[in-house]
Structure 1
């Protein structure tokens, strides 16, 4: 029996689409960082399927939101991402099935990046997941109102979303391993090994350009008391509370790291001792105004500190800079105990 021509055309078209999907999958499968993964993905889809507008909508509460915000310094990627609250996203995408629309498109405005200023006629939204959890969608739009007309078959969009979700799982796993290699797993700050490499670099740079450099060594006073009184989970919250405060109050060029246990360090490039002391005053004022509250517990965070600078007599290397700040911190702690 002869196969009707319209079925042959449809089979041929589906084969062509499948081939393009496979090419896209092969193209992104070996990429293991968010920036390159999403840039390549969006470019490949737009190129192979002649899509005028393609972008991502990412749920702000999702596990990949911060990583994408961190790498959206890339102008191409920044213009192709819209961040949306989980509540709003779910109100638009009521299940994990693709959505097609060619009317009332302003309803979907929260899913669109600010850079999408041209009028569109139809829209396709394909939800993507990470390890089974909804994290956002990959969206396509065209000026043609019929291209993504509601009612047409969305099985190919579902295939696309599934392939993207699987590849995203690989990228995320690799990014997490890379993050843990450089960061403290509890606080998210740089770990000691990375801090020491950065300090070496900053000391060399300060010497080369004859610029100032200061280092602050911080110790969490009575941290053991919090652990003994409230338990280790509250102790972990206290460490994160301190880390977040240091991160939020530092300048962009300053480096904060967890040195060990309840000890932290702050590298302040182009900073003399008096300015470093001002930073400490700001930190203390912040903790004075913002105690740690957790359930029935209320703790006023107290820190001891030591400041060293490349301008100190006898300080010529990163190890001497660190040793001097450490020594000053223990002096400060001993003085407080005497008082």
Structure 2
């Protein structure tokens, strides 16, 4: 295996032969910015991949999760995308241990010269100064309050949050400043922070969406191997609702011939557990995610892989992905229209509505840090 998390061709091919327990991706898919490519060449002397003297087959070793603590330069990301309902977001982590094979954020790891495949879920970065940076940005004289979405690119409550508690620290700053925040997660760990979220909800400062892709435990285990099980997410919806936190369900992604049949079931189960808002997003396959997804299909659904990709392309203008605003979330064509009609009908029948708007009028800038005084530090 080459340095930097990259693999040579032989290792890459071996990884494709079977799923890796606890991981969503099947290989180290190469990033689009890589400048060097390694290839294996048989020199006639045998191969380190051929097995040991006893004749057992070689298999790649288990892949541990590696977390690098980093000092970020800024923490609020801003966008002007017309099909995204927020203009500001904060991501406490880069990469995500949940390992969701369909995650649209996987290609962002290519900017780090890492693989959007296995690196994305095994080589993680924790922004340990996130709360400090957020406090500084909210305290700037020109700051204008608008809702911040927390954990959009990668889940703010992924497993490493239990130890690093960066999301918790960010929420503490937002609560102190009475700053509105929206969250989306597929983790039950968010229940840990109900002591912060419930008071903020009473002030109209928070709402939460829980993402559910499937209610099938077996399918969820291979689609999103380290995310909370479906029944845990339903319990999380109920806990948030019972605590007075406005909560909705995001059916995402809807995957043709894999999970689309569950659309109505997910909506019904979510409403029964307290969700009062709902949305959905079709499967998106930007950049290297196309290869990650195709490998997953070949491993788990070889009998229908071609059919799945045919439907995906029908919804994306004949391509694997169409990034145009307005169509990238919903797709187009007969199958996409059918999904939209099914969702709209179920949404109305079940009784979903909009979550209450978040209040930006209560924002109070954080207190400026006290100037450092050598004399004062003596006492």
TM-score range, shorter chain: under 0.3
**Higher helix fraction (1 or 2):** 1
TM-score, length-scaled by structure 2 = 0.21
**Higher strand fraction (1 or 2):** 1
TM-score, length-scaled by structure 1 = 0.23
Q: Which has the larger radius of gyration?
A: 1
Higher relative contact order (CA 8 A, sep 6+): 2
